[in-house]
Amino acid sequence: MLRRFFTRCAARPSVVASAVLAVASLVALSVLAGGRLTSAAGPQDHRSDDRRPASPVPDVLSPVLQPPRGLEAEATGPSTVRLIWQEATVTGRGVVAGYRVFQDGTSTAVVSVGPEVLTAEVGSLEPGISYGFTVRAIDADGRYSAPSEEVELTMPARPTVSDGPQGTPSHAD
């Protein structure tokens, strides 16, 4: 078939050049497609042992949540800490649906807040113990951002009972 085509087109060098360019393009596309040529009739490579899955097309419209930034912690009592962070950003379509606070690398959130809330209180902490906290954004489909940078805080030690004024022992009468 190709011989007949080239014989008829020998008098037309531009047609031959176009045909050569078309064949070279098909070969290049075949290499890029993993050795499979396709046409309107479907795949032309019927060797079942050389099938490879098609490469996935990246979904550039799916939201990608960036982690919250600037996480800070301060003790607000002997067993309570307040966390403050900056808003997470989203690339692609989507919005932040809320934030989850994680303590000491656990996979279960200790506090969940809405999308406009950029603070959280964590309680039931032990005085004198060091705790690490991270915050992750979550979207409406349940996808989490990477964790924020961890902030570590040592809770203040329990206050000791003072002896009375000026160091004199106090006595109950």
Taking a C-beta distance cutoff of 8 angstroms, is the pair 105, 132 a contact? yes
127: pLDDT confidence band, cut at 50, 70 and 90? very high
Q: Is residue 172 part of a domain?
A: no
Query: Does residue 143 belong to any structural domain of this protein?
Result: yes
pLDDT for residue 13 is more than 80: no
Q: Is residue 50 situated within a structural domain?
A: no
* Stated pTM of the model: 0.58
The edge-to-edge listing of strands for the beta sheet with 81-86 is 69-75, 81-86, 119-122
- For residue 100, the enclosing domain spans 64-155
27-50 pLDDT, tens digit per residue, is 554 444 555 444 444 555 444 445
Model pLDDT, residue 173: 46
Whichever domain contains 101, its CATH number is: 2.60.40.10
Please indicate, yes or no, if residue 1 is contained in any of the structural domains.
no
Domain count, the chain: 1
> Given a cut of 80, is residue 165 above it in pLDDT?
no
Residue 119 lies in a domain: yes
- On whether residue 9 sits in a domain, the answer given is no
**pLDDT for residue 130:** 97
DSSP SS3 for 164: coil
Give pLDDT tens digits for 53-81: 555 555 556 678 999 999 999 999 999 99
- Tokens at 82, concatenated: 């307040």
